[in-house]
């Protein structure tokens, strides 16, 4: 007797941006480091790891570690960090798509399944355009789409609605613990990209999308489900 639960067939994939389709983490890191240095706040690469997939405001709160500033100062710091980030992403080109990602998006669509972006970034649209990935996506959900950031499920539920699919028919591909948590809270399927220490809660884990085909994603889900 099989104990396996009946699963809804996969209808689409929702991809995170930073850490999955491209590596904007380095640009975020440099922008935060510059702000932290100017403000005399302790910050380094290890601290930056905790900001993966975390919204801009929540990231600043983590950096401030309970230090209290007037609201205007907080808003000014957020704007300054973003201006440093925007300056940096002007250098992004289609060559900055992570290995395997473009091919995988194209393969998923050729197979008749849907693709969406599910990124916490409010700058995701600009990054997508610079990468030349927009034509490979059926829908874009980003930091401007919903109020509550990851780990709330809202962003991925919004993306599933845009794809006109039930959450259980969508697979979220994520590199951040907050993103896996968000997807699971919304009842979406999950594939983690990166080390198991970070994304081990996902149904399946892959080191990257390099050389990964649709069949491998579906197989990985089946064997961990
Ligand atoms: P922005 P993702 C996230 O992107 C980044 O990982 C995170 O470091 C950043 O703070 C967040 O976007 C917000 O970005 O400041 O551009 O709105 O991984 O969800 O694609
Ligand atoms: Mg990410």
Say which CATH number the domain at 61 has: 1.10.150.240
Q: What pLDDT shows up at residue 7?
A: 83
Q: Domain residues for 188?
A: 3-23+96-222
My answer on whether 158 and 193 are in the same domain is yes
My answer on whether 207 and 116 are in the same domain is yes
How far apart are the CA of 7 and the centre of ligand 2, in A? 26
Dump pLDDT digits (tens) for 57-99.
999 999 999 999 999 999 999 999 999 999 999 999 999 999 9
Residue 115 Cβ contacting ligand 1 at under 6 Å: no
Residues 6+ apart with CB under 8 A from 121: 17, 18, 24, 127, 142, 143
Residue 16 Cβ contacting ligand 1 at under 6 Å: yes
Rounded to the nearest 10 degrees, the angle between the axes of helix 214-224 and helix 101-110 is 80
Q: How far apart are the C-alpha atoms of 120 and 179, rounded to whole Å?
A: 9
Q: Which ligand is nearest to the CA of 155?
A: 1
Ramachandran class of 134: left when φ > 0, alpha when ψ lies in -120 to 50, beta otherwise: alpha
% of the chain with per-residue pLDDT over 90: 95
CB–CB of 84/30 below 8 Å?
A: yes
Q: Take atom 15 of ligand 1 and give the residue whose Cα is closest.
A: 56
Q: Residue 3 above 60 pLDDT? A: no
Dump pLDDT digits (tens) for 137-191.
999 999 999 999 999 999 999 999 999 999 999 999 999 999 999 999 999 999 9
My answer on whether 77 and 29 are in the same domain is yes
Residue 119 Cβ contacting ligand 1 at under 6 Å: yes
My answer on whether 78 and 49 are in the same domain is yes
Q: Which ligand is nearest to the CA of 143?
A: 1
The H or E element spanning position 164 is none
Q: Residue 225 above 60 pLDDT? A: no
- What is the pTM for the complete model shown? 0.95
My answer on whether 126 and 49 are in the same domain is no
Residue 128 Cβ contacting ligand 1 at under 6 Å: no
Parallel, antiparallel, or unpaired for β 189-193 and 204-206? parallel
The residue to which tokens 């995170």 are assigned: 16
CB–CB of 177/184 below 8 Å?
A: no
């Amino acid at each position: 007797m099989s104990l396996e639960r009946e699963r809804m067939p996969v209808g689409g994939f929702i991809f995170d941006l930073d850490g999955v389709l491209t590596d904007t983490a380095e640009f975020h890191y440099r922008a935060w480091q510059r702000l932290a240095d100017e403000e005399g706040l302790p910050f380094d690469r290890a601290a930056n790891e905790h900001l993966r997939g975390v919204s801009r405001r929540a990231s600043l709160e983590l950096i401030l570690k309970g230090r209290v500033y007037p609201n205007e100062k907080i808003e000014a710091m957020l704007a300054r960090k973003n201006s440093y980030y925007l300056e940096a992403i002007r250098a992004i080109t289609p060559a900055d798509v992570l290995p395997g990602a473009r091919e995988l998006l194209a393969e998923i669509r050729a197979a008749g399944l849907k693709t969406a972006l599910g990124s916490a970034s409010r700058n995701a649209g600009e990054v997508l355009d610079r990468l030349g990935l927009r034509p490979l996506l059926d829908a874009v959900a980003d930091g401007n789409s919903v109020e509550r950031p990851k780990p709330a499920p809202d962003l991925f539920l919004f993306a599933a609605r845009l794809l006109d699919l039930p959450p259980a028919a969508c697979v979220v591909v994520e590199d951040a613990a907050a993103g896996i948590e968000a997807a699971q809270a919304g009842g979406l399927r999950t594939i983690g990209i990166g080390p198991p220490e970070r994304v081990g809660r996902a149904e399946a884990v892959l080191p990257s999308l390099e050389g990964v085909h649709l069949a491998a994603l579906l197989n990985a889900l089946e064997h961990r489900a």
